[in-house]
Amino acid sequence: MKADDRRLVGADREAPRKQRHTARRVWQRLVDEHRAQVGESTVRRYVADARRRQPAVLAEVKVPQTHPPGAEAEVDFGQVSFFLAGVQVEGWMFVLRLSASGRGFHRVYLNQAQQAFFDGHVRALEHMGGVPGRIRYDNLKPAVVRVLKGRDRAESERFIALRSHYGFDSFFCQPGLEGAHEKGGVEGEVGRFRRRHLVPVPHVDTIAELNELVAGGDATDDARWIAGRALTVGDHFKLEANTLQRLPVEPFDTTLLLTPRVDTKSRVCVRQCFYSVPVRFVGRRVEVRLGAETIEVLDGPRVVAVHARLVAKGVESLVLDHYLEVLHIKPGALPGATALARARASGAFSIDHQHYWMTARRRLGDQAGTRALVEVLLAHRSLPADAIRVALRACVEIGVVDPDVVIVEARRAAGGHTATVVPIGDALARYDRPPPTIDHYDQLLEAR
């Protein structure tokens, strides 16, 4: 074997990911270039012997670490799969792990937005009941605007506000694989948690239901043992809890305030997703509080719409109630309305509503029957949905489609009643006043 082949073996010693291919490449090179009749097994033995003689790469030697209680934590995001309402989706698991006790907090989000990153911190620190002195990170975009020379980073203003609010320091690892070992305690935590608590792949109807399973996994992990430790994670955390810094009186506000304009379809566009608002706000600018999992639309201090935050670009979240005033004017738009289809899919528009609508259209005609349905739907703003459904079934059974009758029956089903009349008697008689007269105006006319 030539000297350049030996250098090839030595060079590959510094590239661990390619080591298992070194012998085959050396052998193939000998065959192709020199037509050498050398068996692959012979080259493998030579490469193994050369590696044994090579000095160890000091940069790859791992140094055991000891973490003082309450001094440090590590944060990471990892991908997880689950079925949401029957559809397989990819979510992102936020993990914060205390370095000393090994206690972790996990929560799944549908995105890696800055609001999710901050919301995970707020929930994790409340879960721990305190704040560690320093937290280690990758160079995540929600925290780092630009990687500078060495350990210097240009941090985002919102992230600076977050760590200033809770009073912890930040430590950023080296970019790429070279810095993965710098937060090794949390690096494989997502995979461990997924294999232990999310197998088989969970089927849930909402992301909140999934996070309840995740919270149960966190509670179970308090009883686990980390190799080489004499205490469980939970018992070790009881000793570490007293060393954490105190939480601030108020949690950090993780939402982002935006002021989009309502379009002609009574929607606001937030992060390339569309959300409906009541039709009276069309053409106006409204305030939107964008959170990790929800968005709130505000008119001054009053919340006028709440939606679950969407992920895919261009999708819509439409609420039928937001369009009722215009549907009362344009009843022909209701059968094909997207908001009606969404209400049917969610169960808000039930089979009882559909039966009443069909009966009303047969009795009153399409327009008048649809307007009667809209009046019933407007009653949902003040009456329980179950009471209205009971009233709809009762009215359809006897063939009554008057919306006023439906509302009266719904109030009765909800247990509503008028206040009883309490006789005043003579106790307040002294507060009585005589009725006013206009006799003094007649006196003016007589004087004239």
Tokens matching residue 384: 């329980």
**In terms of DSSP bridges, do strands 287-290 and 256-258 run parallel, antiparallel, or are they unpaired?**
antiparallel
Q: What is the mean pLDDT of the chain?
A: 86
pLDDT at residue 200 in the model: 93
Compute the 3-state secondary structure of the chain and give helix, strand, coil in percent, each to the nearest 5.
Answer: 45, 20, 35
- The full set of domain ranges for the chain reads 3-60, 72-241, 256-317, 324-413
30-34, 121-125, 340-344, range with the lowest pLDDT: 30-34
- Kindly tell me if the per-residue pLDDT of 13 is higher than 50: no
pLDDT at residue 440 in the model: 76
- Region 306-325: mean pLDDT is 93
Q: Residue 374: what are its φ and ψ, rounded to 5°?
A: -60, -40
Asked if 168 and 133 touch (Cβ cutoff 8 Å), the reply is: yes
DSSP-assigned letters across all residues of 324-349: HHHHHH-GGGSTT-HHHHHHHHHTSS
**Tokens 């085959």 sit on residue:** 24
- Region 80-103: mean pLDDT is 92
pLDDT at residue 36 in the model: 55
Q: Which residue has the higher pLDDT, 432 or 312?
A: 312
pLDDT at residue 17 in the model: 45
pLDDT at residue 11 in the model: 44
pLDDT at residue 7 in the model: 45
Neighbour-count burial for 414-433, b at 16+ CB within 10 Å, e otherwise = beeeeeeeeeeeeeeeeeee
- Kindly tell me if the per-residue pLDDT of 427 is higher than 80: no
- Kindly tell me if the per-residue pLDDT of 185 is higher than 90: no
pLDDT at residue 425 in the model: 63
pLDDT at residue 436 in the model: 80
pLDDT at residue 15 in the model: 45
CATH superfamily of 72-241: Ribonuclease H-like superfamily/Ribonuclease H (3.30.420.10)
Share of the chain above pLDDT 70, in %: 85
pLDDT at residue 12 in the model: 44
- Kindly tell me if the per-residue pLDDT of 260 is higher than 90: yes
Share of the chain above pLDDT 90, in %: 63
Q: Which residue has the higher pLDDT, 433 or 222?
A: 222
pLDDT at residue 378 in the model: 95
Q: Which residue has the higher pLDDT, 285 or 33?
A: 285
Q: Which residue has the higher pLDDT, 378 or 19?
A: 378
**Tokens 């063939």 sit on residue:** 399
Beta carbons within 8 Å of 103's beta carbon, 6+ residues apart: 97, 128, 221, 222, 233, 234, 236, 237, 240
Nearest-angstrom CA–CA distance, 336 and 339: 9
- Kindly tell me if the per-residue pLDDT of 228 is higher than 90: no
The partner residues of 93 in beta bridges, in order of sequence, read 78, 108
